[in-house]
Structure 1
């Protein structure tokens, strides 16, 4: 920036961080201005001095004080304060808009990445109840037979245990199938599984961490008798109050607030265990 530049860019301002206690007040405007780079302030002042009306007001103040700069300084400061603050606020407003756009762009990117991951996981299923010493693929085939589904180990692209080995624990298994149709058939029939004596097998969707987080967040706010209102289908978190209701898709934390605000408005708060409405 040249010494005669009049365009001000507050994105390069180095603001000094300060702690604010619960009873603290906003710093006086003089202290705020001190945080702004001196060159930046001079650029703003040069821009303000292009206003002929403002220059006339400055001349009048100096004349009234017999040309004394010292006597005129306070009045001049008050005169220049408003246009300086207006310029600063305009720049801050521009920066805030740019920041909001960047944040929205980031949310959009995260949503796209989550969707890509969700689609990739749509070939996967998680199995629980398979013992550590059992052949994973063969046992998945056995589980499929309990659902009257014909499956071969060659239908399974890959399968492995989840997490580190723990003494006395049977780790879950994640399996990837070559066909989504095979995967869906297993998932759709999972509630019909004929549990063999002494064994319990469970089949779950393989979800993204975002989906799991949203799912757990909603369930944590519901009474135990109503946690079944929220469920996961095809990698998406869904919620409905009644069986015959159309499910509501939950994609963000804001969706959770909207749903629970509706519940409170409908006087159905008896199903809520722990929820505080957002303020502001």
Structure 2
């Protein structure tokens, strides 16, 4: 067993910063030390852990296999320490001045954000939200994202991620009512054959439809890919392109009522909206409040 009295835990903070930034200079900037001080700290850590930990490259530093193995455990340990300390402080929503960062899938934003804004206005007027799309790589922002609301559970560092099912909904295939194939039964083969307008993967955070088709030896014909759901109904109404949507969107977007909707012929696929968060911070009072708020909003939606 390591004698922690002889181990400087600050070295682990420096290790985490080097892993996150990929350079000595970047780590120094993040934690407020000089590059020289970070280099000296890394030298001490190499001796203590008996590994080189990082190799210098033209782009910065590259972690060794041992450093990658250690990274998850160090992240988890520092997260638990941070949470244990922060639990001493109460989170009072009506008095709080705090910014939460969330990634929200495009389909979900119409359900969540108006209700979230309404609740904040009453319950936590000093709290702000920075809403990020999935067009920003989840890997690049996971260390500063409080929660994700997405169509499939997060796969980032799975040993550190918890998820909760918020809502499951039927998927429907949309086409204009006078589409040339409007009277044909919607089969998986027809669905794959028809030209699609598709919401980009970066907006949804999932490839579940394409994975289900691939399992059947099929592939969609992508005529157009767009960044936002709100462009899709008008495109479908004025062309022979088809699209998919959760049925609940019919209550939010009146344009859909002018389109024909057929059940998606991929029985195993549903719109499953999931809330994902980092287990290292789940006991922190502000995070617990946010988890309850988002869960409550989706309870309202379900009813």
* TM-score of the two chains, using structure 2 as the length reference: 0.22
* TM-score of the two chains, using structure 1 as the length reference: 0.23
Larger Rg: 1
Specify which structure has the higher proportion of strand. 2
Larger RCO, structures 1/2 (Cα 8 Å, 6+ apart): 2
